[in-house]
Amino acid sequence: MKTKRIKLLALPTLVWMGALFVLPMILMLVLSFLTRGTYGQVVYQFTIDNYIRIFDPLYGLIFWDTLVVAVLTTVFSILCGYPLAYYISRLDKSKQQIWLLLVMIPFWINFLVRSYAWVIILRSQGVVNTLLQWLGIIDEPLTLLYNSGSVLVGMVYTLLPFMVLPIYVSLEQMDHRKLEAAYDLGATPLKAFWHVTLPMTKPGVVTGSILVFVSSIGMFVVPDVMGGAKSALIGNVIQNQFLSARDWPFGSALSIVLMLLSMLLILLYFKATQAGEAKEGSA
């Protein structure tokens, strides 16, 4: 009786997900086995050529480049996000709320607008260069934009909240008595952090990493706006299939492969982190 009622409550969401998530997915899978017509229309003729085309070494290299960027983004997000989450979790409750609000406020502003704001800050006549020149630190404007460094800055900036919030939640849920126990037993703050806090907040780091990784692997706006559209990441290649090459079947095939690849990597990541946990548990 009770579960039935709960099921009823979940029904709208299930229908919603079914219509907007599962259906497009099926559509994409079907499309990926169809043929592109001469004028870019979809021809209903079965083929696996779209998948064979992906084995062109060029696309392999692009998948690799995309992975490197996604992994770097995730690592830098942990390095920047963990200390911030840790700091916030140590504040008074009222101050915590202000800080959490500050972390989330950028979400209220359109993501494209925020990326262009970075362009205004970093461009050759931008805020940073003008300030440095005015202070006499540099003579010529520095090239801060349109390279792989600025793409990374943009990606980490955009995705950082996805890392901070889950880590903050697991820091909040941590049992502080265990930390006190560690201190009582003579652990240095560093040791206590390494052996108590870090392992206990691992679920937050894992969740944050997956959110950041998955979001960055399909990203195409940041490389376009902050990288000057000079690099080809897989998200850009897919976008081009729909917006310039008019090759929906190939774009769909690339999307399917990208999805399978990220699912595989997440699975491996889960396995690796769980294996670590099991070892700790038995020790």
Contact positions vs another protein (CB under 8 A) = 36, 38-41, 56, 58-59, 61-62, 65, 112, 116, 123-125, 143, 145-146, 224-225, 228-232, 236-237, 240-247, 250
Q: HSE of 73 in the Cβ direction (CA atoms, 13 Å)?
A: 35
Q: Measured between alpha carbons, how far is 70 from 213 in angstroms, rounded to an integer?
A: 6
Beta strands in the chain (DSSP E): 35-36, 42-43
Distance of closest approach, residue 113 Cβ to another protein, in angstroms: 9
Q: Is 135 helix (H, G, I), strand (E, B) or coil?
A: coil
Would you put residue 47 in left (φ > 0), alpha (ψ -120 to 50) or beta?
Answer: beta
Please identify, using beta-carbon distances, which residue of 96 and 115 lies nearer to another protein.
115
Distance of closest approach, residue 41 Cβ to another protein, in angstroms: 6
Please identify, using beta-carbon distances, which residue of 81 and 154 lies nearer to another protein.
154
Question: 36: which strand partners?
Answer: 42
Q: Is 102 helix (H, G, I), strand (E, B) or coil?
A: helix
Distance of closest approach, residue 243 Cβ to another protein, in angstroms: 5
Please identify, using beta-carbon distances, which residue of 36 and 206 lies nearer to another protein.
36
Please identify, using beta-carbon distances, which residue of 73 and 247 lies nearer to another protein.
247
Distance of closest approach, residue 151 Cβ to another protein, in angstroms: 12
Distance of closest approach, residue 223 Cβ to another protein, in angstroms: 10
Q: Measured between alpha carbons, how far is 251 from 240 in angstroms, rounded to an integer?
A: 8
Q: Measured between alpha carbons, how far is 89 from 94 in angstroms, rounded to an integer?
A: 11
Contact 11, 224 (CB under 8 A): no
Q: Is 137 helix (H, G, I), strand (E, B) or coil?
A: coil
Which tokens go with 120?
């205004």
In 243-280, which positions are buried (b, 16+ CB within 10 angstroms) versus exposed (e)?
eeebbbbbbbbbbbbbbeebeebeeeeeeeeeeeeeee
Distance of closest approach, residue 168 Cβ to another protein, in angstroms: 32
The 8-class DSSP code of residue 21 comes to I
Please identify, using beta-carbon distances, which residue of 145 and 165 lies nearer to another protein.
145
Distance of closest approach, residue 264 Cβ to another protein, in angstroms: 23
Please identify, using beta-carbon distances, which residue of 60 and 189 lies nearer to another protein.
60
Distance of closest approach, residue 224 Cβ to another protein, in angstroms: 7
Please identify, using beta-carbon distances, which residue of 85 and 226 lies nearer to another protein.
226
Please identify, using beta-carbon distances, which residue of 191 and 230 lies nearer to another protein.
230
